[in-house]
Amino acid sequence: MKEQDKKLYKLSKEYNFNYGELLLIGDYFGFDIVNQIFKHRQHELHKKTLFNICESYQEDLSSYDMDRQSEELELKTY
């Protein structure tokens, strides 16, 4: 078992979540995103599916990165 799989297994036990679903979502979004969801957005799990939360989180990260890059370009042009 890979190290990330072990960590996902631990998360599944800690949060009483389906391990198989965590493996699939971890493969799709990456372990880091799933891990961050359980650290910072677990309160959303009763409202949305884990997949939707991961998708939203990934979009937030992309948006943040794009904003940061735009800001850096603006600073370089002045």
Nearest Cα neighbor of 39 from 11, 9, 10 is 11
pLDDT of 1: 58
Q: Give SS3 for 47.
A: coil
- pTM (whole model) above 0.75: no
pLDDT digits (tens, 9 = 90+) for 53-78: 888 888 888 888 888 888 888 888 77
Q: Which helix (H) or strand (E) element contains residue 20?
A: helix 19-29
